Amino acid sequence: MFTVAMVTAPLGSFYISLNYIFDGNRQWAGLVAALVANVVVIGYVMFAWNEDGMAYSKSDEGAEETKKSK
């Protein structure tokens, strides 16, 4: 999901902003593409961080249940 977003989102935002927003100004369109790429990377890091936290909480819950059953 993030791999596809990392390719399509910056390129799409570059060409959309180049043709429809900034009327051919490549510097501003490049800035928009760089910002969109950063948003995708931040989203990936947040997703990975939350996924890692869920794995630890699930393993902790399983350990507590086995202690209670003994």
In this predicted model, what pLDDT tens digit does every residue of 57-67 receive, in sequence order? 666 665 555 55
Burial class (CB in 10 A: 0-12, 13-18, 19+), 20: exposed
Residue 57's domain comprises: 2-69
pLDDT beyond 90 at 38: yes
Is the pTM here over 0.75, yes or no?
A: no
What pLDDT does 40 receive?
A: 97
CB atoms within 10 A of CB 33: 21
CB atoms within 10 A of CB 25: 12
Q: Domain tally for the chain?
A: 1
